[in-house]
Chains A and B, each alone.
Chain A
């Protein structure tokens, strides 16, 4: 929240300000106390010895983690691109004129959105080889992420398409475009543009979800952190702290980009598709409107 004054309270007077200061100091002391207790106990176990952290300044270790991050980003981008394509296809199929296509894709989407991603990844990694399907860990992870995310993105696209003014479609028909042409030339480009901020924040979710590659195992950032911890057992906790910091830095920046895009979008087009609750929430967007069927 930016600093616009809230109607819920007045500008604080001297007494209020004093209360805030006192309260903050008290809460601060309490939090610092708990943190300090933790630090003392960690220090007692020697967790802050520089030797435990020095590991992360070695060029080989930095390279090892950087390659892990690279693998994470690569897997997220590949799965992201594939999910875009399949997600759009699923969305269009779910909005199709043919009832059978609508029901079949609807069932597919609801099934894969309703099932934990970890279960899906375990099925792919531990199950598919039983049926003679052998892929590299990288493609197993891409496959799992794509199946799950394309179902999620399909609903995002569908929400985008349904949020367009129906006049757009009517105008397209009025100038003689066919259903396919009006989708390709008029509806989809506008819907996709509207969904850009949402898609970027979905990428944050994808980056976080790629950590599930850990169980395959695929050598992404988290797995590499664990690997470091096994190689330098005295630095295992430190390895996780470093990994968490990298994730936060990358995802926080992506989140800023999404916010910026959303602001730009709102300024440019006025209309904005607001999806409360953050990226996690998008996994279960409710689209209440009925399927989009062109009126004849």
Chain B
């Protein structure tokens, strides 16, 4: 374990890179998810179709392929973003599709009578979503969103492949130099668990906080 404690600063810089990437991408994925989910339940058929197309395309492509496409595609059109920004955009857009599906199923889980009641007191589509359906839907989607957050945290490791300097790449570089794989990778694994376990607990806490008796 000496090699781990001797290089805590390498781990720390990778750790904070992973944390920043996770939080920024999660924010993007929430925004994308809300937009796509709204499209998928909208009264306008073209919007529904476009939302469905986005979800099916993005969910069925490996994240690594999307990263490469974005990275190489944008340089071809003459735009170049930093590795970090590319990561935020691609990881956010990818998980946005999953967030959208979670939100949509959350809206589906709100009992039908709620929507009927909202409509029958004369609220419009957007009013009934805003005041009645969505506030309840958000509560039921806390656990799936939590799962997506944890999956996203783990998936940020793919930034290593396009030369990002996150936790995974820190471990891989240390291993290349010191060739002590077990302690080095175990150290990185523990660092990931330090991120994922508390966020699982935090989402569980939020879930209990916002739970409503049914």
Residues on A facing B (Cβ under 8 Å):
1, 6-10, 12, 16, 20, 23-24, 27-28, 31, 38, 41-42, 45, 47, 111, 114-119, 122-123, 126-128, 130-131, 204, 207-209, 211-212, 214-215, 222, 226, 229, 236-237, 240-241, 243-244, 247-248, 251-252, 255, 276-281, 283-286
User: Which of A241, A255, A277 meets B98, CB within 8 Å?
Assistant: A277
The contact of A240 among B47, B63, B68, by CB within 8 Å, is B68
Cβ contacts A to B, 7 pairs, < 8 Å:
A8-B125, A114-B154, A116-B155, A131-B182, A222-B65, A280-B59, A286-B143
Q: CB within 8 Å of A: which of B68-127?
A: 68-69, 72-73, 76-78, 95, 97-98, 101-102, 104-106, 109, 112, 115-116, 119, 125
Within 8 A of A (CB), among B22-81: 40-41, 43-48, 50, 52, 56-57, 59-66, 68-69, 72-73, 76-78
Interface residues on B, range: 35 or more
> Is B20 on the interface with A (CB-CB < 8 A)?
no
Whether a CB of chain A sits under 8 angstroms from the CB of B129 is yes
The reply to whether B151 and A281 contact each other, CB–CB distance below 8 Å, is yes
The residue on A at minimum CB distance from B193 is A114
Q: Do A208 and B181 touch across chains, with their CB atoms under 8 A apart?
A: no
Note all chain B residues with C-beta closer than 8 A to A12. 43
Q: How far is the CA of A100 from the CA of B171 in the complex (A)?
A: 32
Report yes or no: A20 in contact with B98, Cβ–Cβ below 8 A.
no
Give every chain A residue within 8 A of B43 (Cβ-Cβ). 6, 8-9, 12, 16, 20
Determine how close the nearest CB of chain A comes to the CB of B156; give it in whole angstroms: 8
B 155-172 to A, binary, CB cutoff 8 A, 1 in contact else 0? 111101100000110011
Q: Beyond A8-B125, A127-B182, is A114–B192 a contact (Cβ under 8 Å)?
A: yes
Q: Which of A28, A41, A208 sits near B78, CB closer than 8 Å?
A: A41
B197 interfacial contact with A, CB 8 Å: yes
Partner of B189, one of A119, A255, A285: A119
Q: How many A-B residue pairs have CB under 8 A?
A: 204
Given known A-B contacts A7-B116, A119-B168, A212-B64, A127 and B181 have beta carbons under 8 A apart: yes
A119-B188, A252-B56, A276-B144 known; A24 and B44 CB under 8 Å? yes
* Residues of chain B lying within 8 A (CB to CB) of residue A283: 147, 150-151, 154
Task: Name the distance in Å between B189's Cβ and chain A's nearest Cβ.
Answer: 5
Contact of A280 with B98 in the complex, beta carbons under 8 Å:
yes
Question: What is the minimal beta-carbon distance from A137 to any residue of chain B, in angstroms?
Answer: 16
Expressed in whole angstroms, the Cα–Cα distance for A207 and B60 within the complex equals 10
The answer to whether residues A111 and B181 also contact, given A7-B115, A241-B69, A277-B148 and a CB cut-off of 8 A, is: no
Kindly list chain A residues whose C-beta atoms are within 8 Å of the C-beta of B64: 211-212, 214, 222
CA of A41 to CA of B95, assembled, Å: 28
Q: Give Cα distance in the complex from A209 to B63, angstroms.
A: 9
Residue of B with least CB distance to A286: B143
Q: Which of B40, B73, B147, B172 contacts A1 (CB 8 A)?
A: B40
B129 and A127 contacting across the interface, CB-CB below 8 Å: no
A248 to B53, CA, bound (A): 11
Q: Are A237 and B72 in contact (CB under 8 A)?
A: yes
Q: B147–A115 contact, CB under 8 A?
A: no
Contact of A115 among B40, B59, B189 (CB under 8 A): B189
By beta carbon, the residue of chain A nearest B188 is: A119
Q: Apart from A7-B119, A116-B154, what are 18 other A-B pairs with CB-CB below 8 Å?
A: A7-B115, A8-B43, A114-B150, A114-B192, A116-B157, A118-B161, A119-B157, A122-B168, A122-B175, A128-B181, A212-B158, A222-B64, A244-B66, A248-B61, A276-B102, A277-B148, A280-B59, A283-B154
Most buried by A among B48, B78, B151, B180: B151
Residues of A within 8 A of B150 (CB): 114, 283-284
Q: Is the beta-carbon distance between B185 and A122 smaller than 8 angstroms?
A: yes
Determine the chain A residues whose CB is within 8 A of the CB of B185 once the complex forms: 119, 122-123, 127
Residues of B near A23 (CB, < 8 A) are: 44, 47
A8-B119, A283-B147 are known contacts. Are A115 and B193 too (CB-CB below 8 A)?
A: yes
